[in-house]
Amino acid sequence: MSIRKPLAGLKVLEFGQIAAGPFAGSLLADLGADVVKVERPDGGDGMRAWPPLSVGAEGGAFSENFASLNRNKRSLAADLKSETDVARLRRLAARADVVIENFRPGVLVRLGLGYEALKADNPGLVYCSISGYGQKGPYAEKGAFDVTVQAMSGVMSVTGEEGGPPVKCGVPIGDFCAGLYAAYTILAALIRRRETGTGAFIDCSMVGSLIGVAALQTSEYFGTGTPPRRLGSAHPRNAPYQAFRAKDDYFVIAAGNDKLWWEVCEAVGKPDLAHDPRFKSQALRARNQAVLVSILQPLFACRTAAEWLEEMDRRGVPCAPINDYAQILSDPHIEAMNLVKPLTLPNGVRTHTTAYPVFLSDYAFEISRPPPLLGEHSEEVWHDWLEEAVKRV
Residues 319-349 as b or e (16 or more Cβ within 10 Å = b): bebeeeeeeeeeeeeeeeeebeeebebebeb
List 34, 175, 276, 324, catalytic entry: 175
Residue 175 annotated among the catalytic residues of the structure: yes
Q: Residue 240: is the preceding peptide bond cis (ω within 30°)?
A: yes
What residues contact 250, with CB distance under 8 A and at least 6 apart? 243, 244, 305, 322
What residues contact 234, with CB distance under 8 A and at least 6 apart? 241, 242, 289, 293
Sheet holding 241-245, edge to edge: 241-245, 250-254, 319-321
Beta bridge partner(s), residue 127 = 99, 201
Residue type, 78: A
Active site residue ranges: 175
